[in-house]
Amino acid sequence: MNKTLLPVVLVVSLLSGCKLTPKYVRPPTPVPNAWPTGDAYSATADGTNAPSAADLRWQAFFTDAKLRQIIAGSLTNNLDLRIALLKVEQMRALYGVQRDELYPSLSANADLSKARVPADLSSTGHRHTTTRYDVNLGVASWEIDFFGRVRALKDQALEEYLASEQARRNAQILLISSIASTYLALAADLESQRLSETTLKAQEDSYTLIKRRYDIGVVTELDLYRAQTQVDTARGNVAQYKQQVAEDINALNLLAGEPIPDGLLPARLDDITPPRAISAGTPSDVLLLRPDIAQAEALLRAANADIGAARAAFFPSISLTAFAGTASSELSGLFKGQSGAWNYAPQVGMPIFDARTWSAFRVAKSQQKLALTQYELAIQSAFKEVADALAVRGTIGERVNAQQSLVNAMEATYRLSSSRYDKGIDSYLSVLDAQRSLYSAQQALVSLRQAQAASLIHLYAVLGGGAEDETKQPLPSVSARPVPAAASSAPTAQMAPLLKAP
């Protein structure tokens, strides 16, 4: 080996020598180890044998065939989800750019130079023209990553890419739950619209009867106008629910990314097959599987890697420029013997004083603390969301039963009030009061039945269900770090080529 190349080889051999990135250790979860207990949660026992939300694909959770078909189409056509996917592709490409900084870039160059040398500068005392032809293959200013700055930036880019993938998974969860909730809202509004139309028909019939009695002088004009107010109120309610149904369909079309055929729209709440039961599991196992928390942790790891890059800026930077090729004063002599030429120029830059380097390091440490706080806040917010969803699941059934009993009582009250009015015992005011109370109770019952169906869908979403990820675990970085056994996993097949980077 040429002795002049020995220093270069020695430097290159130290590529994996130093790395200044702090060792990442997952922070402890700042929430209790169990979900809240009490009277509000006593009815949430969906069964310990039920699958967890993260282990249950949305195709298995949603058992209604029409709803599954709408969700499947939305995952292809929804533009918000497509934007999230494009952001993932963008971050994937940016990671590839940063990863490739580890490797030298080879370039081929061909040069021709001519120079006129005046006589007073010529060694021969005569002016002459020099000609030089060069063909070289070489490396231009390749930074040898001795202190791990480039690798730290590569790790940071990788974590940001993984965070974007988790954001896409979270967007999919929100899309699926939004479609299911809107689907239920449409069914409930259709029921409310039919209830309003039935009420309007009854009010019109009642008004017609009272109008006949008024014409023959049996009832007062006050009773007639009271009956008319009920008709006008019912007409307004019918128009309101027609508007809400139209808005629900528009929202569903937007979420699906295309117009939904009428045959896939629901008719009533009872026609929708309820989803499967799920188990809440334990916070330590469930919360870390949520994509938004996995995203926050990936950003925390990215901030941790940025500290390594900031630390490396305090150490010397080593770069290499090297070329090998041929050179000749004649074009025909480029590839003849003795025309070989090479040069290499290692360069070491030693920072002496640069206040910006210290400021950048402080920024990196502050960013890491900020990312840690945001990670802990994400876990606490997720814990509250799940606890609230469990509280709703634990009480909604009792509320529906109580409301159904109230509706039954109001139906009996209305029937008795009408009978007493027909017999002349009570005034029409008691009938009007019973009608209004019955209608309000019936509408409230429809809303509670919708909330009961939506509560399980919401619980499925806040437990991380519907992400449609093969691993069901937070994606690891290439940087080795201690991770609890329950949270470790292999990367997805899609990301495997990227995670093989050095």
Report the phi/psi class of residue 281: left, alpha or beta, with left for phi > 0 and alpha for psi in -120 to 50.
left
With respect to residue 374, please indicate whether it lies within any of the assigned structural domains. Answer: yes
Task: Let me know: does 474 contact 487? Beta carbons within 8 Å.
Answer: yes
Predicted local confidence at residue 356, as pLDDT: 87
The span from the CA of 265 to the CA of 259, in Å, is 11
For residue 444, give every residue at least 6 positions away whose Cβ sits within 8 Å of its Cβ, in sequence order, or none. 403
**Cβ(57)–Cβ(288) below 8 Å:** no
Q: CATH number for the domain including 203?
A: 1.20.1600.10
As a whole number of angstroms, the distance between CA 136 and CA 176 comes to 58
Checking if the pLDDT of 458 tops 70, the result is: yes
Q: Compute the distance between CA of residue 105 and CA of residue 139 in angstroms, rounded to an integer.
A: 6
Q: How far apart are CA 33 and CA 192, in angstroms?
A: 42
E strand residue ranges, 210-328 = 317-328
- pLDDT value, residue 1: 43
Measure CA 356 to chain center: 35
Round to whole Å and give the CA distance between 381 and 371.
Answer: 15
Q: Is residue 27 in a domain?
A: no
Residue 354 covered by a domain? yes
Residue 366 maps to a domain = yes
Instruction: Tell me the pLDDT band of 346, cut-offs 50, 70 and 90.
Output: confident
Query: Do the domain assignments include residue 147?
Result: yes
* SS3 annotation, 60-100: HHCCCHHHHHHHHHHHHHCHHHHHHHHHHHHHHHHHHHHHH
Least confident interval from 145-159, 331-345, 398-412: 331-345
Which domain, by its residues, includes 294? 3-14+53-499
pTM of the model: 0.80
> For 92-118, how does the pLDDT look when each residue is reduced to its tens digit (9 = 90+)?
898 888 887 888 888 888 888 888 888
In the predicted structure, residue 54 carries a pLDDT above the cut 80: yes
What is the per-residue pLDDT for 165? 92
Which three-class secondary structure state does DSSP give residue 142?
strand
Place of tokens 């207990």: 37
Q: How high does pLDDT run on average in the chain?
A: 83
pLDDT class for 395, splitting at 50, 70, 90?
very high
- Go through 242-275 and write b for each residue having 16 or more CB atoms within 10 A of its CB, e for each that does not: eebbeebbebbeebbbeebeeeebbeebeebeeb
Higher pLDDT pick, 323 / 405? 405
Q: Is residue 197 part of a domain?
A: yes
- Torsion of the alpha carbons at 77, 80, 86 and 87, rounded to the nearest 10: -160
Q: Which residue has the higher pLDDT, 398 or 500?
A: 398
Q: Is 64 exposed, middle or buried (0-12, 13-18, 19+ CB in 10 A)?
A: middle
> Is residue 48 very low, low, confident or very high in pLDDT (cuts 50, 70, 90)?
low
pLDDT at residue 476 greater than cutoff 80: no
Give, to the nearest 10 degrees, the angle between helix 428-462 and helix 221-256: 10
Q: Which whole number is the average pLDDT over 141-164?
A: 86
Residue 42 lies in a domain: no
Q: How confident is the model at residue 76 (pLDDT cuts 50, 70, 90)?
A: very high
pLDDT in tens, 251-300: 999 999 999 999 999 989 999 999 998 888 888 778 888 999 999 999 99
Q: How many structural domains comprise the chain?
A: 1
d(CA 432, CA 384): 44
Q: Are 293 and 379 in contact (CB under 8 A)?
A: yes
pLDDT at 241 over 90: yes
> Which whole number is the average pLDDT over 434-441?
90
Closest of 84, 67, 74, 286 to residue 181, by C-alpha: 67
User: Does any domain span residue 108?
Assistant: yes
142/461: higher pLDDT: 461
pLDDT of residue 44: 64
Q: Residue 84: is its pLDDT beyond 80?
A: yes
